Amino acid sequence: MSSEFGQFQDAFFEEAGEHLAIVEEGLLQLEQHPEDLDLLNKIFRSAHSIKGTSGMFGFNAVAQFTHKMETLLDLLRNGQKVVTPAIADLLLKSTDCLKILIEAAKQNSSVDDPTVQELTEELAAASSAENIQSGPSKSGHTAEPLSATTQEFTIQWTPPGWLFQRGLDPVQIIKELNQIGVLADVSVDVSKLPDLNEVDPERCYLSWSMRLGTNADRDDVESVFEFVKEDSTLTIEEVRGKELGVRSEGTSGADKASSALYPSPLTPDGSDNEPKPLGEILVESGVVSRQTLDNALSQQKRVGQILVDQKAATPQQVEQALQKQRQMEAVAQAKKTDNTSIRVDTAKIDKLINLVGELVITQSMLSDLGSRFEMTQLHVLLERMAQLERNTREIQERVMSIRMLPIGTAFSRFPRLVRDLSSKAGKKIQLVLSGEETELDKTVIESIGDPLTHLVRNSADHGLETPDERLDDNKPEMGTIRLNAFHEGGSICITVEDDGRGLNRDRILAKAVKQGLVAEGEKLSDDQIWPLIFKPGFSTAEKITDVSGRGVGMDVVKRNIEALGGTVSIKTVMGKGTTFTLKLPLTLAIIEGMTVRVGRETYIVPLLSILESIQPKPQSVKTVVGKGELINVRGTYLPMVRLYEVFTLEPEHTEPTKGILLILETEGERVAVMVDEILGQQQVVIKSMEQNFRKVEGIAGATILGDGTVGFILDVRGLLEIARQESAVVAA
* Of 247-261, 398-412, 487-501, the least confident: 247-261
The string over 487-502, giving b where at least 16 C-beta atoms fall within 10 Å of a residue's C-beta and e elsewhere, is eeeebbbbbbbbbbbb
**680/273: higher pLDDT:** 680
Q: What is the pLDDT of residue 682?
A: 83
195, 283, 482 from 287: Cα distances, Å? 10, 6, 65
Strand partners, 234: 157
Nearest to 551 by CA among 530, 536, 561: 536
187, 228, 698 from 250: Cα distances, Å? 16, 29, 82
* Of 52-66, 309-323, 481-495, the least confident: 309-323
Q: How many CB atoms lie within 10 A of CB 632?
A: 14
Q: How far apart are CA 624 and CA 619, in angstroms?
A: 13
Q: How many CB atoms lie within 10 A of CB 597?
A: 16
End-to-end CA distance of the chain: 67
Distance of alpha carbon 78 from its chain centroid, rounded? 31
- Written as one string, the DSSP assignment of 673-716 is EEESEEEEEEEEE-B-HHHHS---TTEEEEEE-TTS-EEEEE-H
Q: Which uninterrupted H or E stretch holds 194?
A: none
Q: Is the dihedral of CA 27, 33, 35, 36 positive or negative?
A: negative
Q: What is the pLDDT of residue 479?
A: 93
Mean pLDDT rounded to a whole number for the chain? 76
**182/681: higher pLDDT:** 681
Q: What is the pLDDT of residue 246?
A: 36
Whether 717 and 605 have beta carbons less than 8 Å apart is answered as: no
54, 191, 192 from 158: Cα distances, Å? 21, 12, 10
Whether 322 and 303 have beta carbons less than 8 Å apart is answered as: no
Nearest to 162 by CA among 230, 66, 102: 230
Q: What is the pLDDT of residue 662?
A: 92
Whether 636 and 581 have beta carbons less than 8 Å apart is answered as: no
Whether 438 and 485 have beta carbons less than 8 Å apart is answered as: yes
Q: How far apart are CA 380 and CA 610, in angstroms?
A: 38
Share of the chain above pLDDT 70, in %: 75
- Sheet with 699-704, strands from edge to edge, namely 677-685, 590-598, 601-606, 710-714, 699-704
β-strand pairing of 636-642 with 669-675? parallel
Distance of alpha carbon 140 from its chain centroid, rounded? 35
- Sheet with 636-642, strands from edge to edge, namely 610-614, 660-666, 669-675, 636-642, 628-633, 621-624
What 706-710 contacts at long range (C-beta under 8 Å, 24+ apart), as own/partner pairs, is 706/682, 709/602
* Of 12-26, 235-249, 529-543, the least confident: 235-249
Q: How far apart are CA 731 and CA 727, in angstroms?
A: 6
Whether 51 and 72 have beta carbons less than 8 Å apart is answered as: no
Q: What is the pLDDT of residue 497?
A: 93
Nearest to 126 by CA among 175, 89, 180: 89
Q: What is the pLDDT of residue 564?
A: 80
pLDDT higher than threshold 50 for residue 90: yes
149, 237, 242, 531, 586 from 154: Cα distances, Å? 14, 5, 11, 73, 59
Share of the chain above pLDDT 90, in %: 8
Q: What residues contact 529, with CB distance under 8 A and at least 6 apart?
A: 505, 508, 509, 512
Whether 38 and 29 have beta carbons less than 8 Å apart is answered as: no
* Of 255-269, 333-347, 456-470, 606-620, the least confident: 255-269
pLDDT higher than threshold 60 for residue 300: no
- Written as one string, the DSSP assignment of 3-51 is HHHHHHHHHHHHHHHHHHHHHHHHHHHHHH-TT-HHHHHHHHHHHHHHH
Q: What is the pLDDT of residue 111?
A: 77
Q: How many CB atoms lie within 10 A of CB 450?
A: 14
Confidence of residue 211 (pLDDT cuts 50, 70, 90): confident
Nearest to 247 by CA among 260, 236, 256: 256
* Cα angle: 487, vertex 493, 495; to 5 degrees: 130
pLDDT higher than threshold 50 for residue 283: no
Q: What is the pLDDT of residue 321?
A: 56
Confidence of residue 138 (pLDDT cuts 50, 70, 90): very low
Q: How far apart are CA 657 and CA 608, in angstroms?
A: 25
48, 76, 79, 124, 133 from 137: Cα distances, Å? 19, 9, 5, 21, 11
Q: How far apart are CA 596 and CA 673, in angstroms?
A: 11
Rounded to 10°, the helix 315-335/302-309 angle is 150
Residue ranges of alpha helices (H) inside 82-234 are 85-106, 114-126, 170-180, 218-223
Gyration radius of the chain's alpha carbons? 34
pLDDT digits (tens, 9 = 90+) for 643-663: 888 888 899 988 888 999 999
Whether 178 and 77 have beta carbons less than 8 Å apart is answered as: no
pTM passes above 0.75: no
Confidence of residue 289 (pLDDT cuts 50, 70, 90): low
For the ranges 134-138, 164-168, 439-443, the one whose mean pLDDT is highest: 439-443
SS (H, E, C) 63-88: HHHHHHHHHHHHHHHCCCCCCCHHHH
pLDDT digits (tens, 9 = 90+) for 470-510: 999 899 999 999 999 988 766 788 999 999 999 888 888 88
pLDDT higher than threshold 60 for residue 136: no
Q: What is the pLDDT of residue 675?
A: 93
pLDDT digits (tens, 9 = 90+) for 551-576: 446 777 888 887 787 888 899 998 89
Q: What is the pLDDT of residue 499?
A: 92
Q: What is the pLDDT of residue 510?
A: 86
pLDDT higher than threshold 80 for residue 715: yes
* Of 200-214, 407-421, 540-554, the least confident: 540-554
pLDDT higher than threshold 80 for residue 245: no
Q: How far apart are CA 627 and CA 211, in angstroms?
A: 91
**283/455: higher pLDDT:** 455
